[in-house]
Amino acid sequence: MAKVRHEALATSSATQIASLVIDYLQDSNNFSFEDAIDVHNKNIVNRMFKPDKKTLLHYFIEWFCDPYEDIDNLHKNCSIEEAEFPLIRMLLEFEQIPDIKEFKFHKTVQDRQINGDYDSFISELKSFVTLNHDLIKDHLVHSTFQILFLDRHFLHDFNKKVSEVIKENKEYLASAYPKNLTNKQTIRRNSNWPKWLVDAIFYRDKGHCVICRTNLTNQYSVDGTANIDHIIPLKLYGSNDSSNYQLLCNSCNASKGARTTETNNMNVPFWNYDYKEIKEPEEGSDEVTE
């Protein structure tokens, strides 16, 4: 596996953002998916044709990341007691971002409390976020992606929405990018997967076929095209975006083919937990469970 740099992620903020992203993905009344995945944006379209480390999902997450607005909402709608913990949690995450500029909140982070005048603190925090807006937003998007990329059901639903955009705009895409679409106006296959993507899929799926759970750690080959599968097949207007792949064994890949969009969220947990096997002491008992 290619060496991946260790990073401190904004996991708390990312968890909240991921929840918003999941909710709004299916909310066509209050959010237009086509505005986020805009086929007239060349950066967006290029991700449909070829895998990139900044995926279509990154572009989608960006719509839900506004640290300045989050701070403003806490200030306007919450008491200082209610806002203090989430604000300090934000600062803990902002402090760890490489190349962050003019971070003046070390004492607040150290004391775990807001010192001095609250309104002045908010004003200074907003100025800091404005100065570092792009850096903070990129960090939040990247952190949120780490959560959502683990959820293959979400990736299925997200890429299904992408496929609907492609299908609806296939004439335009075929006219504007004829080399990248087939005669049937579907996106051409890109089988030259970069090693970082192959490694990421293999790591996320724990080296197992996501359908039948066959262990592929001794069978895997980087140039073995049968094992890397488009969750939403290209023939069903799927894309070559990095978020649209999963690991399959040769048998499941052949049976799935371009006919279905089958996936699941089966994975290897940190440990197994069966509530039936957990023996809790009775209330009032001094017994210690082993």
Single pTM value for the model: 0.90
Tokens of 273: 């937990």
Q: How many CA atoms lie within 13 A of 268 on its CB side?
A: 11
Q: Above pLDDT 70, what percent of the chain?
A: 92
Of the candidates 2, 44, 25, the one whose C-alpha atom is nearest the C-alpha of residue 195 is: 2
Average pLDDT over residues 51-63: 97
Instruction: For 61-104, write each residue's pLDDT tens digit.
Output: 999 999 999 999 999 999 999 999 999 999 999 999 999 999 99
In this prediction, residue 225 carries a pLDDT of: 40
Mean pLDDT of the chain, nearest integer = 90
Exposed, middle or buried: residue 2 (CB in 10 Å: 0-12, 13-18, 19+)? Answer: exposed
**How far is the first Cα of the chain from the last one, in angstroms, to the nearest whole number?**
39
